[in-house]
Structure 1
Amino acid sequence: MEVGARHSGQGAVGSRRNPRPFRGQLHGCLRRDCLRTQQLFDDPLFPAGGAALGDVAVSVAQWRRPRDIHGNPQFFVGGVSRFDVCQGNVGDCWFLAALASLTLRRDLFAHVVPPGQDFQRDYCGLFHFRFWYYGDWVDVVVDDRLPTDDKGQLIFVRSCDSNEFWVCLLEKAYAKLYGSYGDLHMGHMAEAMVDFTGGVKREIRLDNPPPDLWRTLRRAITLGSFLGCSTAVVKDGERRLDSGLVMTHAYSLTAAEEVKCQNQLEELVRVRNPWGNDVEWNGPWSDGSAEWGRISPDTRQRLLQQQNDGEFWMSLQDFREHFSQLVICNLTPDFLQDCSTHRWALSTHHGSWVRGYSAGGPLHNNDNYCSNPQYCVTLGEADMEPDSGTSCFLLSLLQKPQAQRRNNNCRLQIACHLFQVPPTVKVLNQKLACSSFGDRFLVSRALVYCNTREVSYTYQLGPGTYLMVPSTLQPNQAGDFILRAYIQRSRHHSSTSSLSRQDYSAWEQTFDKYAQSAELYAAGLQRVMNEVFLCGDQAPDGVSLDHCRSLLMRLSFDGAARLNKHEFRRLWKKLESLKELFQKRDVDGLGLLDVTDLLSCLHDVGYRVGGAAQKLLSLRYGDVRGSVSLDSFILCFLRMETATKMFTQLSRGRAGLHLNAAEWMLLTTYF
């Protein structure tokens, strides 16, 4: 989700163009400090040791830098390839299978793995990588100290080239993102795919696939989608079968081809085991099988590479029989339709289930289900495809973590029901009454609650108004979530009001992310100030909760200490103008002004501050060196504005004030 930007040219903080520094670590600043002091970077937030390893049964002899592992370390050797990825001693095949797919999309790879990183030019032991993390793109920095065994060999993921290190450094950044290397043990491939793309995923059960499975595969590959597959989960974990496949294991799917074999067309898929060795499928169409002798030499030469690299071909029929799930992930859901020229509108909502308020539980919890968050969408005739009279609608519900450590999170069982609102029923304030949630209005009755990170659904919908209701299986379970709705706009749609990511304004995205039940409270305002507006700026302490409570009492129209969407928009415009004013004065780009600059700015906008007041402002908003940070600058201006408004209200047009006891208490309590 894209939120406020430091510079308009960069894009919103948390967007692909302007990722949010993970845990406040700015790569550029850290790199300059290391080069200035000529010190190699040691990450204080992910130090080498037991905490970084987590719960993994490995023995680490030493944490070594690449220069201590190989005499000629390189970030890349011969470019990027899916064969660079070979699994180590942690069960993160789900992550590595998605990573192999990432190497096939050079544009996305260059975003996740920023270019210009190496071990030669200005090397300082610092590297950085980017991931989509629950609605925001984040930039994760790591040092290059890697866990090795007593022989000096890498313990976890490695490249097939012993002196290539991009893949193990990226794995370390991903481990830092989720807590430790141990937190990468066992997972769902779709999660890593979404983390690499910020896209939308579709999971297909291969025991009951759609009739157009082959066409879906070919279309997804043509569009550059990420594809992966997995075998069935068994109690004893990863176990190799006589067929060469491994149970409870994730693979990447790298190609799909139709070949002519003895006057018949054979549908083939190419699959890769992230182990990167000779553990491959040994059935029909495997390396060296008789089937390859029945096709033309040109086709055989083009497709077949007989190497023990983990990659193999198999027929689509065998693929369906031996794998349990197919995962497809793309930046947009274009793979769901034949025509990739359709436009998709994205609507994103950040919400919460709050105990006793908006955690109403499952659909059959009749009395309280309607208290769950509700989101309304209307599809018009212009959204429909002329041929079918319907529009493709994809719904994704993702629950946010309650702890940073991935394996410490207790995931809720979640689902998102979709209701079609009858024309005779009015939706007031995006809400339906409890009496309107009958089974007869459900678009699909086949939904089940799942304790996965994300659930997604695909519908073909006609014109009308629909209501999305995310819920948990058990009532009164607290949690946060992101709800994303992709709406296909017909190629004939002429409206310019599409809810695209670019058109969805920054202030509105920020409000939807931090507000609760369409209102922004003090805790939400504090997060807006510290996570959005002050992100990356010199704000050592940030804005306190008490400051935000005080501001809300003056900023809200009715003094109710909360802001609605309209009130927040006015505040957002004010914050933008104050930040621009600050940056114009901050000519050296240090993120600090002198107190005299603050007083000069106040004077320029019309505030007349006397000598005694100037001294008080200097003490209140400047530090011991007389410097003013952006957060203090903003707070000072907002306080001055609200003080002026309070004086106007209480003076009632007179030159001075006469306060009664109640007015005095109000003034001293909240200002």
Structure 2
Amino acid sequence: MNTVGFAIYEVPEEASGQRNVHLNRSFFLRNASAARSETFINLREVCSRFCLPPGEYLILPSTFQPHENGDFVVRVFSEKQADFQELDDPVEYNAKEEEIDEDDVDQRFRSLFEQLAGQDCEISAFELRRILNKVITRRGDISTDGFTLQTCRNMINLLDKDGTGKLGLVEFKILWMKIEKYLNIYREKDVDQSGTMNSMEMRVAVEEAGFSLNNALHQVLVARYSEPELTIDFDNFISCLIRLESMFNTFKALDTNEEGEVEFNIMQWINVTLL
């Protein structure tokens, strides 16, 4: 049983009345709590009574030790009627698209691409899997089972602008830049240096990669991409981000009116779900 407690913070004026707002670490470093539980203790129930001025408050339950996972229930009893809601993040993708052309590719990378691509000057999913797995097996600071063929196909689907089912020079360069970026994020956010990510590290890493997701979606990602011990290795991390980017791009392409809603016909639905 985890050692748990909670703190109560007054909601800042700029976030008043909002539900889709994210209060990050800097907020909690700069603001003192309005109240907190008397102690952190490993009991089934932690209960306290407070008298606070009227206003909007954030209840923040937590474990005493960082990065511990557990389910919990928050119950609030008030003398007068009050409104309660879960504070959550909006769902959006904020990463900047990489835009390069052949002139931006240096000669060293061109030579490497020519060696890897072979006579057709393009890289297939099979070749991509061989290349990536050869590179990551040399690293001792990340845990991985190796990239699957399906993950490599998803990468190609994301970047294959000419519809060949393979990656040309510029497309491969963009993918290489993405993987380098995601590798740096993975290593930086792996706080305990285990080579894998727990659910909290994964949440921070996904946000750093440019994806703003709500709590429900974060839970889905962990359930979908984690190992039995609820850790995410590097290949699953990359697979998750590639899949997310593809889904956001598809939605954006179909949301022609930019209203945040789309309607599918059967053909569009099949195309989307087969990606």
Instruction: Return the offset for 1:513.
Output: 3.0
Instruction: Return the offset for 1:510.
Output: 4.2
Q: 1:510 to 1:579 in 2, by over 3 A?
A: farther
Q: By percentage of residues, which structure has more strand?
A: 1
Report the equivalent of 1:656: 261
1:241-390 aligned within 5 A? none
SS at match of 1:667: helix
Report the equivalent of 1:544: 148
Is contact 1:602-1:637 (8 Å) kept?
yes
Separation in 1, partners of 2:267, 2:112:
36
Report the residue type matching 1:556 in the other structure: D
SS at match of 2:232: strand
Uncovered stretches (5+) of structure 2, i.e. residues with no partner? 1-105
Q: 1:562 to 1:633 in 2, by over 3 A?
A: same
Separation in 1, partners of 2:193, 2:163:
37
1:404-483 aligned within 5 A? none
Matched, 1:626 2:230: yes
Uncovered stretches (5+) of structure 1, i.e. residues with no partner? 1-502
SS at match of 1:592: coil
Deviations 1:524-565 (A, max 9, x none): 111122111453354443111122123212211133321100
Report the equivalent of 2:250: 646
Question: Structure 1 vs Structure 2: percent identity of aligned residues?
Answer: 26
Structure 1's consecutive aligned runs of 4 or more residues displaced over 2 angstroms after TM superposition are 507-514, 533-541, 586-590, 603-606
Instruction: Return the offset for 1:586.
Output: 2.5
**Which of 202, 206, 213 pairs up with 1:598?**
202
Separation in 1, partners of 2:150, 2:238:
15
Report the residue type matching 2:271 in the other structure: L
Separation in 2, partners of 1:547, 1:605:
18
SS at match of 2:197: strand
Q: By percentage of residues, which structure has more helix?
A: 2
Higher Cα Rg, which structure = 1
Is contact 2:191-2:201 (8 Å) kept?
no
Separation in 2, partners of 1:661, 1:592:
39
Instruction: Return the offset for 1:582.
Output: 1.0
**Which of 149, 163, 168 pairs up with 1:559?**
163
Separation in 2, partners of 1:508, 1:582:
27
Is contact 1:552-1:559 (8 Å) kept?
no
Instruction: Return the offset for 1:617.
Output: 0.2
Matched, 1:667 2:250: no
Deviations 1:578-606 (A, max 9, x none): 11111112344432121211111222344
Separation in 2, partners of 1:648, 1:614:
21
Report the equivalent of 2:75: none
Report the residue type matching 1:520 in the other structure: I
**Which of 66, 89, 113 pairs up with 1:511?**
113
* TM-score normalized with structure 1 length: 0.24
Report the equivalent of 2:182: 578
Structure showing greater relative contact order (alpha-carbon pairs closer than 8 Å, 6 or more residues apart): 2
Separation in 2, partners of 1:592, 1:510:
29
* TM-score normalized with structure 2 length: 0.55
Separation in 2, partners of 1:524, 1:563:
10
Separation in 2, partners of 1:589, 1:512:
35
Is contact 2:255-2:262 (8 Å) kept?
yes
